[in-house]
Amino acid sequence: MNVKTFAGSEKYMRRAHQVIPKGVNSSRRAVLRPTPLAFTSALGSRITDVDGNEYVDYVAGYGPMLLGHQPPRVIEAVRTQLTAGVLYGGQHQAEAELAERIVRMVPGAQMVLLNVTGSEAVQAALRMARAATGRRKTVKFKGHYHGWIDPVTANGPGSPAGTGPAPRPAIAADHHLVGPEILICPWNDPEALADLLGRHGADVAAVIMEPVAVNGGNLWADEGYLATARRLCDQHGCLLVFDEVVTGFRLAPGGAQQRTGVTPDLTVLAKALGAGFPISAVAGRAEVMRIAEEIGHAGTYNGNATSVVAANAALDVLESDQDSLYPRLERLTNELADGIERLAARHGAPLQALRARALIRLHWGAPTPVRTYADTLAGRTEPLRHLSEHLIRSGVHARDTGLWYVSAAHTDDDVDRTLAAVDQALAAVSRQPVGNTG
């Protein structure tokens, strides 16, 4: 599966640069080495670029493709819907069906509102929290990612300010929009959260977090931490919001909250919800969700028919096949992560593969074990970039951040091929002089 040429992708990027800033429509895509790739097709666990190179895909559209590319039941449902219309400017049966399905699957869901992207749904959830409590402030955690819209971009993944000792805002894309309403706290530190809410709790509308800190290192909370956060929110009268854009439906049919047994007031869902079609949702307690009847909720494409039927089909697969699908995902993920760590040990590479069911995050040179966002930042990024480049040249499509998405379409053969490529890549990276940071 060795890649012979990237000439077609390079030619495409030269063309795109003329009319699209950086040549990409999402900035992270511009940094891939040896060049950002342009694709022509994808099926199952494989994706093909304009040069005809086929890759085992662990980018998975940045997370949505939990069922793999073109899952048959989803594609068939969308095909059928296309003959009946795409966007009605009104309601349709599949909307209520999807809301009922989410309520059945997600522990914290009593009512549901649909959006298009995770970033929008986060904003809707925080808006409802402010209206429900009459308060303005939001607590977010160092290194957690809640979309690209200010002010929650503050102190996102990779931000050096994440190691600062004080819970204060960091500069975001537009620092004028990141004011005192955003309070930043270290995650997995119950004393820090208790102290912050002790000082500001009367003004806090919401505490928002990734219940598994995927973007900050694929970190599980210490035992009791999420329950403590739940108790502190109840004590101070603020809402607990779980951003399950990544973990929703990926870690379990009911997401991280099902795995951890801690139920938030509001949950944000996206990515795997639509199996590649653009859709997101806010779900939560009925008394909080009904606030939307007073403050309003809008969006031209909210509840569009194609995305809704895709989501219904995807959740039908995840719900009906859960007894076989999720154990298989976990097995493949563990075999892949264990294999990577065995190869790293063979090559003398300080590489850890942290896993969360269908997610793997690679850490190079970080403390053992990786427990906090500060531990994540202590790792080295440049070796991961080199590793990603070598893997791409060997036919494995993997992000240079070290975050890998495993899908239901991956096979044992994919794992074997991937580990063979990792073996070659680690041999090459181990011979390269690399810096400590990106």
- Per-residue pLDDT of 37-63, as tens digits, reads 999 999 999 999 999 999 999 999 999
**Per-residue DSSP letters for 135-175?**
--EEEEETT----SSTTTTTT-TT-GGGG-SS------SSG
Q: What are phi and psi of 43, to 5 degrees?
A: -155, 130
Q: Which fold has domain 7-70+322-430?
A: Aspartate Aminotransferase, domain 1 (3.90.1150)
CB burial class (10 A; 0-12, 13-18, 19+) of residue 68? buried
Mean pLDDT, rounded, of the chain: 92
In Å, what is the CA distance from 356 to each residue of 188, 307, 326, 330, 400?
16, 27, 12, 8, 19
Task: State mean pLDDT over 314-331.
Answer: 98
Predicted local distance difference test score (pLDDT) of residue 170: 35
Predicted local distance difference test score (pLDDT) of residue 155: 64
Q: Is the pLDDT of residue 88 over 90?
A: yes
CB 118 within 8 A of CB 147: yes
Predicted local distance difference test score (pLDDT) of residue 169: 34
The better pLDDT of the pair 172, 7 is held by 7
Task: Please tell me the least confidently modeled range out of 175-179, 286-290, 304-308, 423-427.
Answer: 175-179
Q: Is the pLDDT of residue 224 over 50?
A: yes
> Among the ranges 2-16, 161-175, 222-236, which has the highest mean pLDDT value?
222-236
Domain boundaries, the chain: 7-70+322-430, 72-320
Q: Is the pLDDT of residue 436 over 70?
A: no
Can you name the residues that pair with 355 across neighbouring β-strands? 360
Predicted local distance difference test score (pLDDT) of residue 116: 98
**Entry field: residues in the chain:** 438
The label of the residue with tokens 């990603």 reads: 388
The label of the residue with tokens 């805002």 reads: 169
Q: Residue 49: what residue type? A: D
Task: State mean pLDDT over 169-194.
Answer: 74
Predicted local distance difference test score (pLDDT) of residue 156: 60
The pTM is what? 0.93
The better pLDDT of the pair 31, 253 is held by 253
Percentage of residues of the chain with pLDDT beyond 70: 92
Q: What is the pLDDT of residues 119-163, one digit of tens each?
A: 999 999 999 999 999 999 999 999 999 998 877 766 666 555 443
CATH of domain 72-320: 3.40.640.10
CB 275 within 8 A of CB 66: yes
The better pLDDT of the pair 314, 172 is held by 314
pLDDT band of 399, cuts 50, 70, 90: very high
Task: State mean pLDDT over 156-171.
Answer: 44
Task: State mean pLDDT over 387-405.
Answer: 96
Predicted local distance difference test score (pLDDT) of residue 152: 77
Predicted local distance difference test score (pLDDT) of residue 183: 94
Predicted local distance difference test score (pLDDT) of residue 154: 64
The label of the residue with tokens 């694929």 reads: 218
Task: Please tell me the least confidently modeled range out of 27-36, 107-116, 205-214, 227-236.
Answer: 27-36
Task: Please tell me the least confidently modeled range out of 23-27, 35-39, 325-329.
Answer: 23-27
Predicted local distance difference test score (pLDDT) of residue 28: 83
Task: State mean pLDDT over 345-357.
Answer: 96
Q: Is the pLDDT of residue 172 over 50?
A: no
CB 113 within 8 A of CB 337: no
CB burial class (10 A; 0-12, 13-18, 19+) of residue 35? middle
Q: What is the pLDDT of residues 270-307, one digit of tens each?
A: 999 999 999 999 999 999 999 999 999 999 999 999 99
- For 319, the enclosing helix (H) or strand (E) is helix 305-320
Q: Which residues contact 173 (CB under 8 A, 6 or more apart)?
A: 148, 150, 153
